[in-house]
Amino acid sequence: MQVTQLDALTYVGPQIAVADMAGLAGLGVKTIIVARPEGEDGDQPEISTIRNAAEDYDIVVHQIPVAPGCLAEDQVLTFSTIKSAVDHPVFAYCRSGMRATSLWALNAAARGGSIDDILLAAGNANYDLRPLAPRLSASAA
C-alpha cells in the first residue's frame, strides 16, 4: 500500500485492497474517501467490499465518483463537507492518487491555504498539480 501524507489530517494514495485496512487504521484513519466511480477498472474492488472491510476497523467510507479529468465543484464541496465534519486522519484514494490529491488541493485553497504550499505538498507526494494552479487560485479568491 502506498500512502502519502499531505497535511496533518490527510493521507492520499492509489487504489487500496481489503488487506490495507489494518495499516490505515494504524495511521489513525477513521474516514476513507474513494474518488473513483464504481467499476472504473476491472481489478478495482467494489465499494461495498471496501466498506465492509473498513467496518471491522470502525472506518467510515464515502464515495465521490470523480471521472478522470472531470473534477466538478460539487465534488470538491462534498470532499470539504466530509473533511470539515471530522477531526481525525482521512485517507483519500483513486486509481493513482491524482484525483484524491486534486480534491484535497482545491479544498485547501478554498480554505485559504497557500497555493505554493499546496503545490509543494502535492509535488513532494509525486503529484504534479501545476496544471491545476489557475483553478487553485480561483478557489482561493
pTM: 0.94
Place of cell 513532494: 124
Percentage, residues of the chain above pLDDT 90: 89
Count of domains for the chain? 1
Structural domain boundaries, residue 47: 4-140
Please list the alpha-helical segments (H only) found in the chain: 21-26, 47-55, 73-84, 98-110, 115-124, 133-140
CATH number, domain containing residue 110: 3.90.190.10
pLDDT in tens, 66-116: 998 889 999 999 999 999 999 999 999 999 999 999 999 999 999 999 999
